[in-house]
Structure 1
Amino acid sequence: MKRLADVIHWRKLPRALRLVILVAAGFAVLYGAFALAYPPMLRWYIGDKSARLTYPNRERLTEAEFERLAKRLEDQAASWEVDERVAREANPAYREEKARLLAGLPSTREKAHFSHIDYFRKAGIRTYEGPQTCLKCHETMEVRTPDGRTRRVKTLDDVMNTVHYRLFSDTHNGFSTYGYDGRKVNSFRSIPVGKIDRACGIPGSFTWTGWAALI
């Protein structure tokens, strides 16, 4: 069997091309090693002994469950709208009757409508899969710059390059923290701040998961 070098006539290739191939192969090897080694190395560094982060809204809903949840959310939002509009009514009887009438108006439900329910319904989104769920529709967004102009940016890149997410890499400091569920995120070393898959040290919350539960 011929060697690969003989088949492609390695030595006959231009020197510059051989250099490009070697550099590309080196980057590929380094990237593969990083992708495989970084997660366990990071867990070793922070002393994380906890299980993988999970949350209830990761469960896939059936169509019936989705519609029931949508109705419950819209009913709740409509009740908030009604409560706000009758709050100044002093007479309890009038307030109750006014609330009943307002609750039956289509305009009340329209004002309390969650537009994302329709978006999710049409897009077939029935489970939360982390940032990639939001990025299906919001891969890019328009932002206003300090000079008043607008430009389109990649959403995830823009978020990950904010001060919050770059705090550790810019200052080389970190700290210990506990999550909402009581788990200590690191046992004996400081950790980077604001990462998507573990707790942010400032509020002790799991970023990209707490607010998503509201959606």
Structure 2
Amino acid sequence: MLLNKLATSNFSASQVANNNPYIYNLKFSAETPDSAQKALSQIIEHINKKTLSMLYNRLESRIDNRILYLEANALQLKNRAEQSRSNKILDLKQALQTARDANINDYTGNSPVIGNSIIDLKDSEMLFMLGEKYLQAQLNTLLNTDTIYPEQYYAIQHNIENLKTLADPEVQGQMFSYSQTPQLPLTKDKPRKALILVLGALLGGVAGTFYVLLRNALK
């Protein structure tokens, strides 16, 4: 209620000094010092709520944007790891079939040589040289284990969980306070005795003149 009344009570705010944007003088009308103190407390409380709400909203927006960014990175790493696993399974299946067709059952342990070239067994096209038993064992292991994601993926997930704990915080705190209690003006706004005396004299003179004129007119 008091805040609504301030809208029509010549409320104003001004900086105390141009080089200090954090200290203001508030001016408004009130009937008593107690009501002025109460109004000032409500003003400070209202400003604090609005300011804190704005700051927390900005913080939540930045947290949400950061979470979205990290989730996108985590999803990219996850997709890469799963695609790499799928490609590895496909390579092993193809190599296993080739080893069976070539009747290569065991890996001899020596680097296969064709002519003057040493075959690189890391090449997916040469995996069949590892032999059917080795390839089948690798394939079974890969099919029966979960995808192993890179270390960065788990670090990102940890950061996301930490950020989520900061989301939707309880708004609390105080941004502004008053350093001085409301003070009465050095001169009263009303009643203005000098103005009343002048107006009284003028009205008295006008009334006296009107009375004299009216009396003369009635004679």
TM-score of the pair, normalised by structure 2: 0.20
TM-score of the pair, normalised by structure 1: 0.21
Q: Whose relative contact order is higher, 1 or 2, with alpha carbons under 8 Å and at least 6 apart?
A: 2
Query: Could you say which structure has the higher helix fraction?
Result: 2
Which structure has the bigger radius of gyration?
2
